[in-house]
Amino acid sequence: MVHPWHDVPIGDNSPNEIIAIVEIAKGSKVKYELDKDLGMLKVDRILYSSVVYPANYGFIPRTLGDDDDPLDVLILMQEPVDNLSILRVRPIGMMAMLDQGQNDEKIISVHLDDPEYRSFAHIQELPLHRLS
């Protein structure tokens, strides 16, 4: 079985174009996490009230962040996609965050095969309503 973190290449054109693996679909209330040993997704929790993921959310294979997890990535695109989908993305920005006192950066990216988003090269090019 292919392990999505260890066995999927990051992409030949990194860091300008990379591969992202989706853990959580846009609009979901379910927080999944990759089981690092098994390479499968496990349910971490259900989000409160009407809170949902505003974008497809996942990780960049073969990376390691300060929190000992793969680097997190938000993928801006028109549609939700299935968990463990492999997407070609372009990083356009980063959100510096803290999670229980540890750095936990979120890479913001656009899906390269989505005609609405693929032309964006920097987060400042996005219309403001896409960031709220």
pLDDT digits (tens, 9 = 90+) for 57-109: 999 999 998 888 999 999 999 999 999 999 999 999 999 988 888 888 999 99
Q: What is the pLDDT of residue 66?
A: 86
Pairing of strands 72-76, 106-111: parallel
Check if the beta carbon of residue 61 is closer than 8 Å to that of residue 21: yes
Q: What is the pLDDT of residue 104?
A: 85
Q: 15-58 pLDDT, tens per residue? A: 999 999 999 999 999 999 999 999 999 999 999 888 999 999 99
What is the CATH number that goes with domain 18-130?
Answer: 3.90.80.10
Positive or negative: CA dihedral 36, 42, 47, 51: positive
Q: What is the pLDDT of residue 91?
A: 99
Beta strand segments in 1-132, E? 18-24, 30-35, 40-46, 56-59, 72-76, 86-95, 98-99, 102-103, 106-111
Q: Where are the domains of the chain?
A: 18-130
Average pLDDT over residues 124-131: 88
Whole-number Å distance between alpha carbons of 50 and 98: 23
